[in-house]
Amino acid sequence: MVRHVVMFKFKPEVDTQSRVDFVRSLQRLAEDIDVIRALEIGQNFTQSPRAADIVLIVDLDDEKALAEYSDHPDHIPVKDMAAHLCSESRVVDYVID
């Protein structure tokens, strides 16, 4: 299996409702994209300059499924939303047992 981890840092001006909408769009990915085997979202509660605001963890069968997920038509608007709302994001993809 492949684990896809993305950490998002919101721009300072992003309001609470936009943050909620973004998390909901992330949650819907599990319903909309059938190659997703598991999806978890965590929201940071600590204040630190190093901290991200949201983490998305997605498990997929293999690298082919990761590519399908990445290019899926239901994923594209979520990536666009992240680009609009976030000052940065970091990704790590790795193999799990």
Tell me what pLDDT residue 67 has: 98
Can you give the pTM of this predicted structure? 0.94
Q: Which domains are present in the chain? A: 2-95 (3.30.70.100)
Give 74's Cβ-side CA count (13 Å radius). Answer: 14
Residue-wise pLDDT for 5-35, tens only, equals: 999 999 999 999 999 999 999 999 999 999 9
Tell me what pLDDT residue 59 has: 98
CA-CA distances (angstroms) from residue 46 to 18, 26, 71?
A: 20, 21, 33
Residue-wise pLDDT for 53-72, tens only, equals: 999 999 999 999 999 999 99
pLDDT band at residue 97 using 50, 70 and 90 as cut-offs: confident
